[in-house]
């Protein structure tokens, strides 16, 4: 009844062609990370050869013009700002998610989640700007100078809170309803249920959220640069200005040459290493190796 | 305990009328020592069966005994499942189906398939039929229109849809969707039709319509149908084959004419299954 | 004894509620403060002239016309490059590789790392690779390409999700009809996966528009109207940064630019979540 064409072998070739095309494209996408690491390493190589790794920690100070490359004050800056903000944002974020699931009347839960999503969408430069014109003068009025570790922590907290809250929200959604019902049947109170049943069940999602938030905090540049004062020093109080690794790159890249420029790429490598460690941690957690 | 004598209280089957003369037994598909593994797990083991041209062969058996897997190995749909291995031999009219150099696209045009759940493409009714035709190289618009109209009449859908050929196929009822899927398979004029429980997702009325259709296909096509509905298998099949899980893998227990399987089963398992005791 | 336990319980329950509600109040208040402050200071400033005239006097006066053009161009380059690559990779990952194949696992892992790379590192990389090695200099092209690398993981992830949302039945029945994989992909899977692609596109756009750190040393600071893609161009976020940090008296225009950026982003993210909610759920597309 029907005679159909017989161009099947040419179609098979099209399939093969498509497959190779896709593979080529995917290889590009997959190798960008390698490319990044390679270029960072290449640019960092000269200074690593002249100066060696240890001097990045043992030099008396960061004065690249005079050949002094001590990164530790910046490392401390990054560390303090990150740890501080994660410590504040984690409870706030998780409580926000708990609120949406177990405390809020439905009429409030939805708008509140929307609000968190909105917060997640605001760009870092706007947070930085707000911190600069509102927060920094406020802190300065309490204790000068104003631009400080504290300002950095507050801004970072606001920035990573949505990440943690949204992840926590997603993982609470995945907690099976029968756990909650079972706990209710035992006569457990609301908070006891949340602490004893919901949190353990959602543990891995909560951790993943915190890790993502930490990654964001470590990598944040503009906002922190705008509010932290950028003095190269190991902070001795919440009110002293600091400079983070990322801010250091952003500030000096514009005019850095030679070994100085290479030293900035070294700090880029350090950041990459931190992120790689975090990804590994997230992976470890999401494969269920954290149990309640 | 396998009962070997009829159990009192269960009605004996009414006798099968002899089938019309479609069944000059000429094997079209020869399956020889076919086994299928999903990874390490065997789905069925050492199945040897021939399927006669122009007849309806019913595959029956309990859930999980490998009927679907068997069907999909006949058109090599198993290629799409990672980790799926086939061994043995399938000859379709002399064509070695499992040979690596076999043109699967052409093979699948010769062996059509209808699935348990109706799955028309999210296109219009017309496009659902036109698209495979065009893909297989038919360009002549007039010829396409003729073919589409013919198959739609064949499946009894023409009068129901002729005024809305360009509306979405997914707006059809379940029974109509299934008949559209049959039309879509038929429009490529295959030699063999594989049907995996084509009626099980349908209400009794649509199921009856589809069943009548299948009967109407006899002698024009070689039909292999999986069904859990033994009454249906009795009504429509010329041949029947029973699969069963033994030693962790599906096995072919018994195959023969429908009359023989349903009325004088040789294997006690078959006897028990067709009298509704097991499975 | 039971009474005591109950009182204790009530106390804890009360404390927990108080904590939860005050956390929520704190977050809401901060948010309102931030947004309220920006709107309050910016609203009177935003006019049609502001949106269309180029900045004057280092941005203290004039508007953001040329800045919006540069931003659009950077975004265009970014999406023009990342969409084909992202789509291709997503198709390969979702349709042509199994989850446990080595190639698939490696690609996925490297994309995971890529999505965590800090934007300043992208800036370093872009500067070293696009500006220096490829010789593109400080240009819209360099900036766009750098951003393309940055948005790829988001784009790939949600496009892949879009493909995975397409019912397997389509693939099986297409194969059973003897359709080639290319045909199946182009005519059946791609249309059905469009919503996922769109969500990825919109999210990627959001990330690109919000970006500052990756652009400072790739697309540069120049606030003139760009004449070609090889010109340096100042993105909106960099404009805000520059006005607030380096230009005394630039606050008013910085406020107005910040509001424009926030509104743009809210619109973009709103579109993304609307798409995800209303369109992805209605998986069946009729053509
Ligand atoms: N894609 C797959 N991957 C792994 N195992 C599979 C796959 N498909 C089927 N199986 C297994 O192979 C065996 C046979 O399955 P099959 O679907 O062929 O059974 P069936 O006889 O069609 O059952 P039913 O009557 O329920 O449709 C089952 O044990 C099933 O779990
Ligand atoms: Mg089955």
Closest CA to B256 of B25, B85, B54: B25
Q: Does C116 touch chain A (CB under 8 A)?
A: yes
Average pLDDT of B125-146? 88
Distance of CA C46 to the CA centre of its chain: 24
Using CA atoms, how far apart are residues B103 and B108, in angstroms rounded to an integer?
9
User: DSSP secondary-structure letter at A203?
Assistant: H
User: In the prediction, which pLDDT does A26 show?
Assistant: 92
Q: Render pLDDT for C219-265 as a digit per residue (tens, 0 to 9).
A: 988 888 888 888 888 999 999 999 998 888 888 899 999 999 999 98
Shared domain for C64 and C99, answered yes or no, is: yes
Shared domain for C179 and C224, answered yes or no, is: yes
User: In the prediction, which pLDDT does B13 show?
Assistant: 35
Residue C214 contacts residue C118 (beta carbons within 8 Å): no
Shared domain for C157 and C271, answered yes or no, is: yes
Interhelix angle A199-219/A258-284, nearest 10 degrees: 170
Look at ligand 1, atom 12, and give the residue with the nearest C-alpha: B43
Partner A, chain C 91-110, Cβ-Cβ below 8 Å: 91-93, 96, 103, 106-107, 110
User: In the prediction, which pLDDT does A288 show?
Assistant: 59
Closest CA to B72 of B93, B55, B86: B86
A-chain CB neighbours of B140 within 8 Å are none
Closest CA to A4 of B92, B190, B222: B190
Q: Does the pLDDT at position A130 exceed 70?
A: yes
Look at ligand 1, atom 8, and give the residue with the nearest C-alpha: B69
* Secondary-structure class of domain A75-243 per CATH: mainly alpha
3-class SS of residue A215: helix
Task: Tell me the CA–centroid distance for residue C242 and ligand 2, in Å.
Answer: 65
Among B80, B127, B184, the residue with its CB nearest the CB of C175 is: B80
Using CA atoms, how far apart are residues C172 and B78, in angstroms rounded to an integer?
10
Q: How many domains does chain C have?
A: 2
User: In the prediction, which pLDDT does A289 show?
Assistant: 52
CA B263 to each of CA B251, B258, C242: distance values in angstroms, whole numbers, following the listed order: 21, 8, 90
User: In the prediction, which pLDDT does C279 show?
Assistant: 67
- Min Cα distance B127 → chain C (Å) is 10
Tell me the domain boundaries of chain A. Answer: 75-243
Shared domain for C16 and C157, answered yes or no, is: no
Q: Does the pLDDT at position A148 exceed 70?
A: yes
User: In the prediction, which pLDDT does A5 show?
Assistant: 45
Q: What is the ipTM of this complex?
A: 0.89
Q: Does the pLDDT at position A55 exceed 90?
A: no
Look at ligand 1, atom 14, and give the residue with the nearest C-alpha: B66
DSSP string, C104-140: HHHHHHHHHHHHHS-HHHHHHHHIIIIIIIS---SSH
Using CA atoms, how far apart are residues C271 and C176, in angstroms rounded to an integer?
38
For chain C, give the mean pLDDT: 87
User: In the prediction, which pLDDT does B7 show?
Assistant: 33
Share of chain A above pLDDT 90, in %: 50
| Domain span including residue C14 | 2-45
Q: Strand B111-114 and strand B192-196: pairing?
A: parallel
Shared domain for C222 and C117, answered yes or no, is: yes
Shared domain for C6 and C36, answered yes or no, is: yes
Q: Render pLDDT for C165-220 as a digit per residue (tens, 0 to 9).
A: 888 888 999 999 988 888 889 888 888 888 888 888 888 888 899 889 999 989 98
Task: Tell me the CA–centroid distance for residue B246 and ligand 1, in Å.
Answer: 14
Q: Does the pLDDT at position C278 exceed 80?
A: no
Q: Does C284 touch chain B (CB under 8 A)?
A: yes
Shared domain for C55 and C107, answered yes or no, is: yes
Shared domain for C26 and C7, answered yes or no, is: yes
Shared domain for C79 and C35, answered yes or no, is: no
Q: Render pLDDT for A57-78 as a digit per residue (tens, 0 to 9).
A: 888 888 888 888 899 999 999 9
Closest CA to B189 of B77, B85, B110: B110
User: In the prediction, which pLDDT does B209 show?
Assistant: 87
Average pLDDT of A239-245? 93
B-chain CB neighbours of A5 within 8 Å are 136-138
Shared domain for C15 and C131, answered yes or no, is: no
Taking 3-state DSSP, the helix, strand and coil percentages for chain B, each rounded to the nearest 5, stand at 35, 25, 40
User: Model confidence at C281, in pLDDT bands (50, 70, 90)?
Assistant: low
Q: Render pLDDT for A15-32 as a digit per residue (tens, 0 to 9).
A: 889 989 999 999 999 999
Q: Does the pLDDT at position A228 exceed 90?
A: yes
- Best residue among B36, B37, B43, B230 to mutate for probing ligand 1's pocket (most ligand atoms within 8 Å of CB) is B43
Q: Render pLDDT for C52-103 as a digit per residue (tens, 0 to 9).
A: 888 888 888 888 889 999 999 999 999 999 999 999 999 999 988 887 789 8
Among candidate residues C45, C62, C80, the one where a domain is terminated:
C45
Q: Does the pLDDT at position B10 exceed 60?
A: no
Q: Does B136 touch chain A (CB under 8 A)?
A: yes
Shared domain for C75 and C92, answered yes or no, is: yes
Shared domain for C111 and C168, answered yes or no, is: yes
Q: Render pLDDT for B159-188 as a digit per residue (tens, 0 to 9).
A: 999 899 999 888 898 889 999 999 999 998
- Residue B137 to residue A12, Cβ atoms within 8 A: no
pTM for the model: 0.83
User: Model confidence at A11, in pLDDT bands (50, 70, 90)?
Assistant: low
């Amino acid at each position: 009844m029907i005679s159909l064409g017989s161009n099947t072998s040419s179609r098979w070739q099209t399939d093969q062609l498509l497959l190779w095309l896709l593979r080529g494209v995917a290889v590009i996408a997959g190798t960008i990370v390698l490319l990044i690491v390679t270029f960072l390493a290449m640019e960092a190589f000269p200074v690593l050869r002249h100066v060696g790794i240890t001097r990045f920690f043992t030099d008396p100070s960061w004065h690249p013009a005079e050949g002094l490359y001590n990164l530790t004050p910046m490392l401390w800056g990054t560390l303090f700002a990150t740890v501080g903000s994660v410590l504040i944002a984690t409870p706030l974020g998780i409580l926000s998610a708990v609120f949406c699931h177990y405390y809020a009347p439905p009429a409030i839960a939805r708008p509140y989640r929307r609000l968190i999503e909105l917060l997640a969408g605001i760009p870092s430069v706007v947070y930085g700007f707000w911190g600069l014109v509102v927060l920094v003068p406020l802190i300065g009025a309490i204790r000068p100078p104003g631009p400080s570790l504290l300002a950095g922590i507050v801004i970072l907290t606001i920035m990573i809170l949505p990440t943690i809250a949204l992840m926590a929200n997603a993982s609470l959604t995945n907690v099976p309803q029968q756990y909650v019902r079972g706990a209710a049947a035992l006569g457990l109170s609301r908070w006891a249920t949340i602490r004893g049943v919901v949190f353990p069940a959602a543990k891995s999602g909560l951790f993943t959220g915190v890790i993502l938030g930490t990654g964001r905090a470590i990598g944040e540049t503009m906002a922190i640069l705008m509010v932290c004062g950028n003095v190269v020093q190991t902070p001795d109080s919440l009110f002293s200005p600091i400079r983070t690794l990322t801010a250091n790159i952003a500030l000096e890249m514009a005019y850095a040459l030679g070994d100085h420029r290479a030293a900035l790429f070294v700090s880029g490598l350090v950041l990459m290493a931190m992120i790689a460690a975090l990804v590994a941690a997230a992976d470890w957690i999401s494969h269920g190796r954290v149990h309640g | 305990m396998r009962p070997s004598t009829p159990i009192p209280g269960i009605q004996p089957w009414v006798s099968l009328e002899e089938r019309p003369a479609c069944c000059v037994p000429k094997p079209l598909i020869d399956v020889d020592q076919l086994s299928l593994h999903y990874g390490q797990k065997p789905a069925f083991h050492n199945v040897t069966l021939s399927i006669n041209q122009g007849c309806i062969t019913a595959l029956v058996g309990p859930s999980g005994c490998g009927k679907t897997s068997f069907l999909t190995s006949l058109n090599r749909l198993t290629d799409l499942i990672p980790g799926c291995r086939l061994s043995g031999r399938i000859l379709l009219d002399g064509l070695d189906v499992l040979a690596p150099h076999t043109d699967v696209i052409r093979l699948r045009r010769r062996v059509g398939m209808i699935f348990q759940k109706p799955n028309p493409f999210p296109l219009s009714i017309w496009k659902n039929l036109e698209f495979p035709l065009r893909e297989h190289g038919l360009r002549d618009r007039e010829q396409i229109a003729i073919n589409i109209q013919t198959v739609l009449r064949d499946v009894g859908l023409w009068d129901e849809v002729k005024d809305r050929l360009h509306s979405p196929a997914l707006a059809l009822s379940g029974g109509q969707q299934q008949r559209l899927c049959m039309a879509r398979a038929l429009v490529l004029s295959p030699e063999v039709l594989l049907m995996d429980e084509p009626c099980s997702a349908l209400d009794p009325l649509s199921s009856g319509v589809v069943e009548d259709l299948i009967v109407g296909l006899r002698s024009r096509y070689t039909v292999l149908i999986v069904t859990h509905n033994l009454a249906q298998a009795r009504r429509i099949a010329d041949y029947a084959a029973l699969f069963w899980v033994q030693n962790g893998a599906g096995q072919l227990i018994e195959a023969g004419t429908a009359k023989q399987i349903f009325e004088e089963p040789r294997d006690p398992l078959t006897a028990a299954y067709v009298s509704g005791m097991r499975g | 004894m039971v009474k005591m336990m109950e009182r204790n319980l009530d106390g804890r329950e009360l404390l927990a509620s108080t904590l939860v509600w005050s956390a929520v109040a704190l977050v809401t208040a901060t948010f309102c403060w931030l947004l309220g402050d920006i709107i309050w200071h910016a609203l009177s400033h935003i006019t049609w002239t502001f949106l269309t005239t180029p900045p004057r006097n280092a941005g203290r006066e004039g508007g953001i016309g040329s800045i919006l053009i540069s931003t659009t161009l950077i975004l265009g380059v970014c999406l023009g490059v990342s969409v084909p690559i992202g789509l291709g990779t997503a198709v390969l990952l979702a349709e042509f590789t199994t989850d446990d194949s080595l190639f698939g696992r490696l690609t996925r892992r490297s994309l995971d790392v890529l999505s965590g790379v800090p934007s300043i590192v992208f800036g370093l990389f872009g500067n070293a690779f696009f500006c220096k090695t490829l010789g593109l200099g400080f240009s819209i092209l360099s900036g766009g390409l750098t951003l393309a690398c940055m948005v790829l993981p988001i784009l790939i992830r949600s496009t892949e999700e879009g493909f995975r949302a397409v019912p397997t039945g389509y693939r099986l029945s297409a194969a059973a009809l003897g359709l080639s994989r290319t045909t199946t992909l182009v005519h059946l899977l791609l249309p059905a996966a469009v919503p996922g692609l769109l969500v990825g596109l919109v999210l990627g756009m959001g990330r690109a528009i919000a970006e500052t750190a990756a652009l400072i040393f790739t697309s540069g600071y120049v606030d003139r109207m760009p004449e070609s893609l090889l010109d340096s161009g100042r993105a909106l976020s960099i404009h805000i940064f520059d006005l607030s940090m380096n230009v005394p008296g630039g606050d008013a225009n910085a406020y107005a630019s910040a509001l424009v950026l926030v509104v743009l982003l809210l619109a973009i993210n709103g579109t993304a979540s609307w798409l995800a909610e209303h369109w992805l759920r209605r998986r069946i597309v009729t053509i």
